[in-house]
Structure formats: structure tokens, C-alpha cells
Structure 1
């Protein structure tokens, strides 16, 4: 069975940018007021990790994006591997991941409509 089809990712709410001198290898959070869309990254975090398989699985997700010529990096964030893509590539990246069987968790406010 394809392990990608059992995976669920969600977008971290914080925006990121490459750390100075570490493009592609280190990120830092961006304050909401200082978001520059040209240098803004989004992070996708795995919600359904199989014990010990999170890093290889995130590398497979990155490869799926590389297959359609979208640049991404898998880096540690909040103690876990996260997939970083340019904010302008977010929709193409999530579409590609859905096409290979990954579920994308959407934000939920928790408020019931009246």
C-alpha cells in the first residue's frame, strides 16, 4: 500500500523566511506585519506520522513536488520535519500532494453557525 495515501498534512499558521545566509537549509518565523510575499514560505507539517517514518515520508512528499518542478525543503520545525514551499507555490503544492493521495487538513474555527 502507498504510504502517501495514509498521510495527512496541515499548514502551520506562522509564515517563515530563509535565515540570512542559510537559504534552503534554515528558516525563521516572520512577524505578521513584516510578511513579504516574495520571501515568504509556508510550512506543511505531518499530522499522521508513523513512528520513525516522518522524515522519509516528508522526503517523499518533497520529491512529489520536485517531480512537477516545485522547489521545497524538508527541515526541522517545532521538533518535527516540515515541508517548506514558497507561499506563491502553496496552492500548486497542496494540489499535487492531494493528487498523490495526501489529505490536507483545513483550519476549523470550532464555531457552530446559528
Structure 2
């Protein structure tokens, strides 16, 4: 059974960039309304699993993206494993994940009735 088919990811609300240290080991949030740069990252967090299983699933997701030559890294953010990928690769990344059966949670913006 494909474990990824039971996984759901959600896009983190901010943009990020690689932090100090070796690339792929640390991220930092970008200031809101800052100019979008080529090195902007988006983060995906796992909603469907937690703990050790979340780290394993995120590594599988990273491997699926690496197979199509997307640079990405799994980094701890707010105590959870999060996958970070270049903003310009977001569409390719989400398409690949959908092909593996990963659910992509969307933010609902409710209006007043």
C-alpha cells in the first residue's frame, strides 16, 4: 500500500529562505510584503501524521520530488518536519505530490453571510 495516499500536506503561510549554515539545514521566515526573490522558499507541513511517522513520510515526499530533480529539504520548523522547496517549483512539487495521492489542504477564507 502506498503510504503517501493517506497523507495530507498544508502550505505554511509565510515565505522562507535558507538560513545560516549548510544549505538545506535551516530556514528563516521572510518579512511580509518583501520583494519576491529567486531564493524564496515555500514550506509544506504534514497534517495527517505526527512524530516519527511524520519524519518518515516527509522523507518519502522529499524522495518523490528528488526523483524529478526538484531541490528540496526536510527541516524541523515549529517542532515538526516541514518540506521546503523553491517558490518557482511549487506547482511542479504539488503536481508530483497529487500524482502520488497526497492530499493538498487549502485555506478557506469564509465570507460573511
**TM-score class, shorter:** over 0.9
Q: CA RMSD in A?
A: 1.4
**2:81 is the counterpart of 1:81:** yes
Please identify, of 16-25 and 89-98, the stretch whose mean Cα deviation from structure 2 is larger. 16-25
**2:65 is the counterpart of 1:65:** yes
Q: Which runs of 4+ in 1 moved over 4 A?
A: none
Tell me what 2:3 maps to. Answer: 3
- The one-character-per-residue Cα deviations of 1:54-110 (angstroms, maximum 9, x if unpaired) are 001000000000111111100000110000000000010000000011010111112
Tell me what 1:104 maps to. Answer: 104
Tell me what 1:13 maps to. Answer: 13
Structure 2 CA distance for partners of 1:35 and 1:45, relative to 1, 3 Å: farther
Structure 2 CA distance for partners of 1:32 and 1:77, relative to 1, 3 Å: same
Structure 2 CA distance for partners of 1:103 and 1:88, relative to 1, 3 Å: same
Q: What's the offset of the Cα at 1:20? A: 3.2
| Aligned counterparts, 1:34-53, within 5 A | 34-49=34-49, 51-53=51-53
For 1:55 and 1:73, the matched residues in 2 are separated by 12
Count the aligned residue pairs: 113
Q: What's the offset of the Cα at 1:51? A: 5.0
TM-score, L = length of structure 2? 0.92
For 2:5 and 2:54, the matched residues in 1 are separated by 14
| Structure 1: gaps of 5 or more residues | none
For 2:16 and 2:105, the matched residues in 1 are separated by 19
| Structure 2: gaps of 5 or more residues | none
